[in-house]
Structure 1
Amino acid sequence: MDLLDFSDCKLYFEDELPAAAERLISQAAEDYGDPAAELALLRAHLLAPEHLTVLVSLYRYYFYQHRLDDVLVVADHAKRISARHLGIPNDWRLIDESQLGSAAATSFGLLRFYLLALKAESVILLRLGRIAESRDRLSKLAALDSRDHLGAAKLLEVVDEFQSENPAPAEEPSLTLVAA
């Protein structure tokens, strides 16, 4: 399966968005940098809690605000919604190639979205210093994407190279002073 060929599939942003949610997302863009922007996005989320356009908007907002823990929550929510629609397990570790093929037949565009959300999680985990969790996701993606169209194998290679050049320091004993 060619994960780069999505010319003949529906993409997440083509799903109809309630007009009020669309206005709130536009308002958030205008108010960016102001706390009102987040409020507008959260209100849009209340109106369309499972719409991927809303979740991508929240993801981007939190990402650019450097709120990486919030980014992970949104990415996980988007993955769970996608998994449910695709008929694949919520736990990405349980997905195999046959399930991937079935999901592609259901919605190739949504499957690609799901896989990219998993990759996005791995990148955020890297930024948070949670290397092992990131590696697990990247390894799974690399196994599912034998042609590395999503770039997970290449990213995994970079992570491994960096780790070999910069091994984690051994814990050194520390001295703690206590006032008597």
Structure 2
Amino acid sequence: MRDLFYAGPLSPEIGALLEQAMGAYADTAKAEQLLRQAWDEAPEALPVYFSLYKFYFYKGRLEEAEAAARAALASAARQGGFPEDYERLTPDTTDWGRYDSPQHFYLFSLKALAFIRLRQGDLAGCRKILAKLNELDRADTVGGSVIGAMAAGL
């Protein structure tokens, strides 16, 4: 097992599926099939969620990217033992500063969700998510300020 994307352990088999999916990126159907296989075999592996929402985002399939990001948030919250609804979270909900934790992956996925909402044209939704991200990640460890700068330019 190895850690990937500070999101927890990943078995060599699942890591291999993700690498195969990256290698097959140009063949959308094949890459998606490999990602879905990884998710079927390891439904709580956070790096699989990361790979899914990035894949869908870069393929321009924003609704599916959003669904994958929201599923990532739900899984990270379950694993971290805190509510999945970001609106209910506070800086005191959990230790948001642990880089090797589901909490940090949650923050990273929240940033991804903000970017997806921005690309969908939902500036208000993006800003709402970023406001919460800024509250939870005051040190900007996941780079939410980058998305904030993009949103401010619109």
Would you say same fold, with TM above 0.5? yes
Are the structure 2 counterparts of residues 154 and 57 from structure 1 closer, same or farther at C-alpha, using a change threshold of 3 Å? closer
Contact kept? 2:10, 2:47, Cα under 8 Å: no
Q: Decide whether aligned partners of structure 1 residues 159 and 47 sit closer, same or farther in structure 2, where only a CA change above 3 A counts.
A: same
1:131-170 CA distances to partner (integer Å, 9 max, x unpaired)?
11111110111122334444435643553453xxxxxxxx
Please say which of residues 49-58 and 130-139 is displaced more in the overlay: 49-58
The separation in 2 between residues aligned to 1:33 and 1:140, in whole angstroms, is 35
RMSD of aligned residue pairs (Cα, Å): 2.3
Q: Which residue of the partner structure matches residue 11 of structure 1?
A: 6
How many residues were matched structurally? 148
Task: Select 1:77's aligned residue among 71, 79, 98.
Answer: 71
Among 120, 123, 130, the alignment partner of 1:128 is: 120
Residue 52 of structure 1 is aligned with which of 46, 50, 72?
46
CA distance in 1, matches of 2:143, 2:47: 23
Question: Residue 31 of structure 1 corresponds to which residue in structure 2?
Answer: 24
- Which moved further from structure 2: 53-62 or 147-156? 147-156
How many Å separate the matches in 1 of 2:141 and 2:18? 31
CA distance in 1, matches of 2:142, 2:22: 28
The residue identity in structure 2 corresponding to 1:115 is L
In the alignment, structure 1 residue 66 sits paired with structure 2 residue 57? no
Contact 2:90 2:135 in 1 (8 A): no
Instruction: State whether residues 126 and 134 of structure 1, in contact with CA within 8 Å, keep that contact through their aligned partners in structure 2.
Output: yes
* SS of match in other structure, 1:99: coil
Question: 2:106 maps to which residue?
Answer: 114
In structure 2, list runs of 5 or more residues that go unmatched.
none
Is there any run of 5+ residues in structure 1 with no aligned partner, and where? 1-9, 163-180
**Structure 2 partner of 1:140:** 132
TM-score of the two chains, using structure 1 as the length reference: 0.71
Q: Give the superposition deviation at 1:41.
A: 1.2
The verdict on how the C-alpha distance between 1:84 and 1:41 changes in structure 2, with shifts beyond 3 A counting, is same
Partner of 1:178: none
Give percent identity, aligned residues only.
33
Query: Matched residue of 1:97: which SS?
Result: coil
Offset of 1:45 from its aligned partner?
Answer: 1.1
Is the contact made by 1:17 and 1:51 (CA closer than 8 Å) also made in structure 2? no
